Structure 1
Amino acid sequence: MVLNREMTLHFLSSHKTTILTEWKERLKHLSDGYIEYFEEEIEKILNSLMKQLKNTDTNIDDMLKDLGEKISAGRVKQHLNMDMFFSITSTGRSIIIDQFLAYEAIKGELSAVIHQINAYFDKLIYFALSSYTDLKTKQVAEQYQLINPNHKDRLTLLGQMTSSFVHEFRNPLTSIMGFIQLLQAEQPEIKYLDIISKELDQLNYRITQFLNLSKRETDTTQNEIFPIAPLVDEVIEFLYPSILEVNATVSCNIEGDAQLAGSKEEFRQVLLNIILNALDVVTETPNPSIDISGSVASGFLTLNISNNGPKIPSEVLPSIFEPFITTKKRGTGLGLFVCKEIILKHQGTLTCHSTDFLTTFSIRVKTKS
Structure 2
Amino acid sequence: MKKLYILFILIFLMLVPNNIHARSLDDNEKVYITITIAGDDSLPPFEYVDGKGIYKGFNIDIMRAISIEEGIEIEIIPMPWYKAIDALNNGEIDAIQGMKYSKTRDINYDFSMPYIQTPNSIFVRNDNKYIHEINDLKDKRVAIQKNDISKYLLANRDIENLIEVNNQEEALIKLINKEIDAYVGNKLTGAYYIQKKGFEEYVKTVGEDLLVENYCVAVLDGNNEIIDIFNDGIKKIISNGTYDKIYKKWFGEYFYDNSKILKNILVALGVAFLLVVLITIFTIKWNRQLKERVEERTIELKRENILKEKILNSIFSYILVVDRDKKVLLMNDKAKRLIDNKKDFTYLNDTVLGKIIDNNDINEVTQRGIEIKNKEVVSSIDDISTYQYNLSPISIDNDNFGAVISIKDITEEKMLRERLMATDKLKTLGRLAATVAHEIKNPLTAIKAYVELMPEKIGSERFRENLLEDVPREIDRLDKFINDLLNYSRHRRGKKEELNIIEVVKDTLRFLSREIKKHDIEMVCDIHKDAKVLVSRDQLRHILMNLLLNAIDAVKVNSVPKIKVYSAVDGQYIKLIVEDNGKGIDEKTLKKVFEPYYTTKKEGVGLGLAITQQMVKKNNGEISVESKLGIGTKFIITLGLLKKGEILCIDS
Q: TM-score, normalised by structure 1?
A: 0.48
Task: Kindly indicate whether structure 1 or structure 2 has the higher relative contact order, using CA contacts under 8 Å at least 6 residues apart.
Answer: 1
